[in-house]
Amino acid sequence: MAAYWPPNLPRELPPVEATLAHNLRVAVARFGTRPAIGFFGRELTWRAFNTQVEAFAGWLRGPAGLHRGDRVALYAQNSPNWLVAYYGTQRADCVAVPVSPMSRVGELRHVLADSGARVLVAAQELLPIATEAVRDDTRVVGLAYADYLPEASPFTLPEWLRAPARGSSGVTPWASVMACTQAAPEPLAGPDDLALLPYTSGSTGMPKGCEHPHRTFQHNIQGLALWHMMSAGTVFLGLPPMYHVSGLMHCVHSPVFTGGMVVPVPRWDRTLVAQLVRHYGVSHLGIAPTAVIDMLANPDFDAAGLATVKRITSGGATMPAALWQRLKAASGIEFVEAYGMTESAATALLNPIERPKPECAGIPFFNTHALVADPVTLQPLPDGESGEILLSGPQIFRGYWGKPADTAAAFTEIDGRRYYRSGDIGRRDAEGYFFMTDRLKRMINASGFKVWPAEVEAKLYEHPSVREACVIGAADAYRGETVKAVIALRDGAVPDDAAIIAWARQQMAAYKVPRIIEFVDTLPKSPVGKILWRDLQDREKQKEQEA
């Protein structure tokens, strides 16, 4: 239990005995004629939003032939379409599989095959990738963001966003789905039914699906509403990617639970974001540190544009103390940092609103137990000592989809309580605040996106010039960390870092692509031939310290 706790909050919350789809029904009943979504000048009321959700659910359970528990993959940028498809999936008693729109063919194909998704909802600019990746028994729905734009937007929008819907062979148009008049059966799902299957990579390289029933996310949804003092008057900037658990919490689940309004942002654009904040009077801003850097670097930045903002928060990456202070000086707002992962439905630790600390993960969330343990013996350590952060709480996932061995390895039991092993190294101070200091696992945090070296290495080995590859993290003033590949080439191959980087961009999501390539004759190895990645990582850190 934390030594410090916000005096205005209960330490524990009761379980929510309802589904994510039920949250929408409540919002519609309470606020039917109020705007639920604002999209560049066009607003959608709660009632209109729900009508489209019902149409999508009816299409899934009718023409698409899906049944309770079937999986639906979502492959698009933040948009009203994404929200409709997500809540339509929940309303149909199906399982949502959010996929990064940066995923390439091989990455998408793995998620679709592993999850067994029977429907893939894809943005039209991603349809070439989607149609190449799908299985024969998977239906593809194509969407256009322009379907939800006003005839005359008060904003200057890029062409890709304004592109009208185009027909594509073998793809069901979004308009056809929205025209479905067949009603979905009355929902039968309960809080313990599977609701979400978001994918996270791991040290073994291949992404794994995290099984989340409605109950895990519902705990964090009601908790965040209390913690951040959200209400029907809250206007959320839908900036964090909706496929990511942080985006799910801050611009998908929270607006629906509270009856607030969400303003989806498909891609970061500092000028456009500033205009949206002013236009809609945004009060809740979830934003990554890299975006804060870009926002403050804008020569046209005006702190007055943040006058309506009450909260600025993020949990994807640590906010450097200097940037934390710059933001506070410019806006008067203290950044509230959080800590979590896909396995914890986003939030596990969170800074108190009235007493946040810079570069701090926060204190354990409602009903959450956290401790620091020796990563080898798993014995709890006293305050001030660094060890692996272990987490236990109602928001922790059920297990990895179809991978019982990986699930068993991810958990341990201490004093009769089941803990998830985060793989992050941290310490706890005397007030109960946690600070992350290192990683036990080989993970790179690039602008809040988690990159697992083994996954990138596996793809690099497919390049005809690569004999051996080791991926490590390198310091980056903007991204925090960036991806570096140390490569030994095949005999006769010519070192060409630009060519390898260009090739990698065609093989993997942009945030995973190595930004730095170092060519070596050979990689350091153990006596049994295992590449000593930590030696390379330590060498990189030493170079950074000496620079």
Both 331 and 200 in one domain: the answer is yes
Q: Which of 308, 339, 370 is the last residue of a domain?
A: 339
Both 325 and 473 in one domain: the answer is no
Both 201 and 330 in one domain: the answer is yes
CA distance 352 to 55: 41
Q: Is residue 11 part of a domain?
A: no
Q: Is residue 258 part of a domain?
A: yes
pLDDT at position 210 over 50: yes
pLDDT above 70 as % of the chain: 97
Both 74 and 208 in one domain: the answer is yes
Q: Is residue 232 part of a domain?
A: yes
Both 240 and 124 in one domain: the answer is yes
Q: Is residue 389 part of a domain?
A: no
44 with 148: CB under 8 angstroms? yes
Section 164-176 average pLDDT? 95
Q: What is the pTM (predicted TM-score) of this model? A: 0.86
Q: Is residue 243 part of a domain?
A: yes
pLDDT at position 203 over 50: no
* CB atoms inside a 10 Å sphere around CB 163: 14
Helix axes 214-227, 20-31, angle to 10 degrees: 50
Contacts of 530 (CB under 8 A, 6+ apart): none
Both 460 and 329 in one domain: the answer is no
Under DSSP, is residue 483 helix (H, G, I), strand (E, B) or coil?
strand
The whole domain housing 155 covers 20-339
Q: Within a 13 Å sphere around the CA of 10, how many CA atoms are in the beta-carbon half?
A: 8
pLDDT tens digits for 75-104? 999 999 999 999 999 999 999 999 999 999
User: How many domains, the chain?
Assistant: 2
- Which of the residue ranges 98-112, 239-253, 322-336 would you say has the lowest mean pLDDT? 322-336
**Torsion over CA: 404, 407, 412, 416 (sign):** negative
Section 361-378 average pLDDT? 96
Both 457 and 331 in one domain: the answer is no
pLDDT at position 152 over 60: yes
Closest CA to 469 of 541, 531, 543, 539: 531
CA distance 27 to 49: 11
CA distance 88 to 81: 10
pLDDT tens digits for 483-521? 999 999 988 999 999 999 999 999 999 999 999 999 999
pLDDT tens digits for 249-282? 999 999 999 999 999 999 999 999 999 999 999 9
pLDDT band at 528 (very low <50, low <70, confident <90, very high): low
pLDDT at position 46 over 80: yes
> What pLDDT, on the 0 to 100 scale, is given for residue 538?
87
pLDDT band at 37 (very low <50, low <70, confident <90, very high): very high
> What pLDDT, on the 0 to 100 scale, is given for residue 378?
95
> What pLDDT, on the 0 to 100 scale, is given for residue 272?
96
| 391 or 523, higher pLDDT | 391
Section 285-291 average pLDDT? 86
Q: Is residue 377 part of a domain?
A: no
pLDDT band at 316 (very low <50, low <70, confident <90, very high): low
What CATH number is given to the structural domain containing 515?
3.30.300.30
Q: Is residue 113 part of a domain?
A: yes
Buried b (16+ CB within 10 A) or exposed e, 371-380: bbbebeebee
Q: Which of 310, 339, 368 is the last residue of a domain?
A: 339
| 294 or 143, higher pLDDT | 143
Both 448 and 334 in one domain: the answer is no
CA distance 529 to 542: 24
What CATH number is given to the structural domain containing 210?
3.40.50.12780
Q: Is residue 453 part of a domain?
A: yes
SS (H, E, C) 426-480: EEECCCCCEEEEEECCCCEEECCEEECHHHHHHHHCCCCCEEEEEEEEEEECCCE
Closest CA to 218 of 259, 260, 256: 256
> What pLDDT, on the 0 to 100 scale, is given for residue 445?
85
35 with 45: CB under 8 angstroms? yes
Section 12-28 average pLDDT? 98
pLDDT band at 319 (very low <50, low <70, confident <90, very high): confident
CA distance 339 to 315: 5
pLDDT tens digits for 421-458? 998 889 999 999 999 876 777 788 888 888 888 788 88
Average pLDDT value over all residues in the chain:
93
CA distance 485 to 480: 17
Q: Which of 319, 339, 359 is the last residue of a domain?
A: 339
